[in-house]
Copies of this chain bind each other. A is one copy, B any other.
Amino acid sequence: MNRFPDLIRKYAFRDPGKMATHFEGRDFTYAQFCDRIQSMGQVLVNHGVQPGDRVAYLGQNSHWLVEMYYVPCVIGAILVPLNYRLSADEMVDVIADCTPTVLIVDRHFVDRAAALMDRCPSLEQLIFADWDTDAPGLPAGTPSYDTLVAQVGKVADDAFDDRASRSDDTMIIFYTSGTTGVPKGVMLSHANLLTNAIGSGHLYGYRETDILLLSGPLFHLGTGSRVYTAVAYGTSMVVQPRFEVEETMRMIQDRRITTMTLVPTMLQMIMDHPRFDGFDFSSIRCLTYGASPMPVALMERVIEAIPGITFCQAYGATETSPVLTVLPPADHVPGNPMIGKLGTVGKPVIYGDLRVVDENDNPVPTGQSGEVIIRGPQVMNGYWNRPKETAQAMRGGFYHTGDAGFLDEDGYLTLVGRTKEMIISGGENVYPIETENALSKHDAVAQAAVIGVPDPKWGEIVYAVVALHEGTSLSEADLIAFCRKKIANYKAPRGVTFWDGPLPLSATNKIDKKAIRTAVLATQDSGDHA
């Protein structure tokens, strides 16, 4: 039976003095880490938490949150890490959906937690996890995590053997940031997460001597999955409350970080930082990244600055625990014949059955784009309390990612956008990114966003919104003609809006296509564009 707590106990036994977590000057060894998890399990049992119950956590990254990744599953319960960027109403919806009885909060979200305790009927107990035992605004009588743990004291290794969850039991629920409606709770089991940890860890080249920096938000599985890999490999975790470029640089240097996960834009921020040369990054062995491809120029710059460094890319989804494909370190070595694959997201992990299909779930030929679907032991148990959405996402037994991509002759996957962004114009499928790439090749174009707009003749037409470099100008006809030389006519835009200033960005710093679409459709309605 797959059980994460057993892995923690293993390192607590084998390397009791080894650092498990470091957070703001406080170290816990694996022996302490294990003991604290067991004790906190007893605390939750004392507060009436039963197997299958949910426990919510609202806070920035900390050793408390890392511990809480394992506490509920020790007693057969389920953790729900809350995305602290959600609005109060969104958070109430999430809690109403999964009905946790206990909420744990740190000092950053005391007011929000107090409000949630009032507004959410399921919540019975608030626990405060921070350095102090009190904070302004904390409801009177709220007990402190550390005090409760100290009161319970050491708990026997096998105290919860009759409660512990089994392989297929859900141990954590991550709410995905759906763009419409209430977020859905992704239920992941021990089997899901352990398959990912064991199966993908060796592709990254994880070692037990690694010192891992956790700086991305732990309410997402992107960084969260590293908490599972860490106890699988027995690595030390350095926890940063949140990514902050200069502080991250300092931690890499001071804590001798060997590996961390980031997105290329974070790496760019580090490389571009004026104090970059003042820090020692020689401890770094491997950077794992995701969310977007690594620009070759950026990679070469990093390799020159930090000799011997390697890179590894993973493409993932919360619903798949999360890794679907890996572009391993070997494919990042300049001069390697596979270096041309840097624009891909790598090859599917062996323990998954990944396919690319059309709208009717029929597989498309190699080289042709379609939706990426996958089945395997890493695929979620489903969406919490949402059998209809689960059945829809899991139709035919495959999880449908909503990502569009194609497999090449060598089995590497290239992503081309979201299937929902796909434009169907005159029966042809167009992925906006293909058109955007063509537009970007024009010297005058600073930014480009492509959307589909309704059209009585073609169903949809490909429409471009473009920001030009300052001091340049361009006609709609010329830009369309330029595109038609680069890509198929049906992929070239049939209309262009030149945007005044930089394109609007969403909260996650991506181009906000929703705002752009609204603006374009408004001008269309007013007859501005034929």
Q: Identify A351's interface contact among B191, B194, B375, B379, CB under 8 A.
A: B194
Report whether A397 and B191 are in contact in the complex, using a CB–CB cutoff of 8 Å: no
Interface string of A295-306 (1 = CB under 8 A from B): 000000000000
Tell me which of A161-169, A171-179, A419-427, A508-516 binds B: A161-169
Report whether B195 and A350 are in contact in the complex, using a CB–CB cutoff of 8 Å: no
Report whether B194 and A158 are in contact in the complex, using a CB–CB cutoff of 8 Å: no
Interface string of A343-379 (1 = CB under 8 A from B): 0000000111101000000010000000000011101
Q: Which residues of A contact B (CB under 8 A)?
A: 1-3, 6-7, 9-10, 13-14, 158, 161, 166-168, 189, 191, 194-195, 198-199, 201-202, 208, 232-234, 350-353, 355, 363, 375-377, 379, 396-397
Determine the distance from Cα of A290 to Cα of B234 in the docked complex, in whole angstroms: 27
Report whether A350 and B161 are in contact in the complex, using a CB–CB cutoff of 8 Å: no
Which residues from B are CB-within-8-Å of A232?
A: 350-351
Which residues from B are CB-within-8-Å of A168?
A: 1, 166-168
A-B contact pairs, 21 of them (CB 8 A): A1-B191, A1-B377, A2-B191, A6-B397, A7-B351, A7-B376, A10-B352, A13-B353, A13-B355, A14-B353, A158-B396, A158-B397, A161-B397, A166-B168, A167-B189, A191-B191, A194-B351, A198-B198, A201-B350, A202-B202, A232-B350
Least CB distance, A316 to chain B, in whole angstroms = 17
Q: Identify A377's interface contact among B167, B234, B352, CB under 8 A.
A: B167
Determine the distance from Cα of A2 to Cα of B14 in the docked complex, in whole angstroms: 29
Which residues from B are CB-within-8-Å of A355?
A: 13-14
Residue from A158, A198, A234, A397 with most neighbouring chain B CB atoms (10 Å): A198
Determine the distance from Cα of A166 to Cα of B1 in the docked complex, in whole angstroms: 12
Determine the distance from Cα of A208 to Cα of B410 in the docked complex, in whole angstroms: 13
> Smallest CB-CB separation from A202: which chain B residue?
B202
Report whether B6 and A353 are in contact in the complex, using a CB–CB cutoff of 8 Å: yes
Residue from A1, A7, A14 with most neighbouring chain B CB atoms (10 Å): A1
Q: Identify A191's interface contact among B9, B14, B167, CB under 8 A.
A: B167
Q: Identify A7's interface contact among B201, B353, B363, CB under 8 A.
A: B353
